Amino acid sequence: MTIPIPRWRRAGRAILHVSAFVILTLLTQVGGLAWLAALAVRPRIVSFAGAYLALWLITPFAAAAFGRVPMPCSDEAGLRTKAIYCALNRHYVTPDLRHAAIQAAQTVAETFPGTHTIALDAGFPFLDGMPLLPHLSHDDGRKLDLAFYYTDPASQYLPGQTRSPLGYWAFETGPSTCTRQFPTLRWNMDLLQPLWPDRPLEGARTTALVQALIADPRIGKILIEPHLETRLGLGHSKLRFQGCRAARHDDHIHIQL
């Protein structure tokens, strides 16, 4: 005799699968499809990993139909994307933006041999308008975040290193005119700041990168916190303040076509 599954357990499983589908879709765009495929095969985690890997491998070919290409996941002309963003399928941009970023990184590497530029969040491979959370504007393949360069406490450059594991939320200190507002994405992450290693900003390379991006006619806007613009001696109409309700931009550089 088969014992019927209680209704509350069936409802709980349905909520679990719907939640997994939504979360994986919001994180990776294709992860929700991989979860649906995995529901038919056990063990589920193994089948999900296999389905996700298969989708990840074919995504670059399908993304081309949407005018998107992946940012380099291994070093290319001194530029590579942080591994987690490659794994999560968040490293897609238009060909123009990819070329502009590689060209800027190459310019910095020519000026400072041995420099490694790190790309962070970019965009999803398919469809315009789907938000790349928690970003407000990374929804069309025309935006890309780049990490700062850092040194050790003895001022020796650290190739390819960021202060935080994600490349975000390790903020540079400086004055701000922003007051507390609600709602806002301007998180200070005060509890996290003591966790990051002592890695001072490498100003010369960071300045060279921003200047190379300013000089590229394909780049229309660069978001950076005003106190860093002053600190690095930068000044140009392409440099913008993102506003007090958006995320801070003294932990990374945002560029867009």
Q: Collect all residues with Cβ–Cβ distance below 8 Å to 83 and sequence separation of at least 6.
A: 73
User: What's 252's DSSP letter?
Assistant: E
Please tell me the predicted confidence (pLDDT) of residue 245. 86
Taking the chain (257 residues) in runs of 10, the rounded mean pLDDT of each run is 61 85 96 92 91 97 96 94 98 98 97 97 96 90 98 96 96 90 86 96 98 98 96 95 91 97
Please tell me the predicted confidence (pLDDT) of residue 173. 92
- Residue 91's Cβ-side half-sphere holds a number of Cα atoms within 13 Å equal to 24
Please tell me the predicted confidence (pLDDT) of residue 17. 86
Categorise residue 202: left if φ over 0, alpha if ψ from -120 to 50, beta otherwise: beta
Q: Collect all residues with Cβ–Cβ distance below 8 Å to 132 and sequence separation of at least 6.
A: 90, 121, 122, 123, 124, 138, 139
d(CA 224, CA 240): 6
Please tell me the predicted confidence (pLDDT) of residue 7. 67
d(CA 117, CA 126): 25
Task: Let me know: does 139 contact 191? Beta carbons within 8 Å.
Answer: no
Rg (CA), the chain: 21
* Predicted model pTM: 0.92
Please tell me the predicted confidence (pLDDT) of residue 12. 74
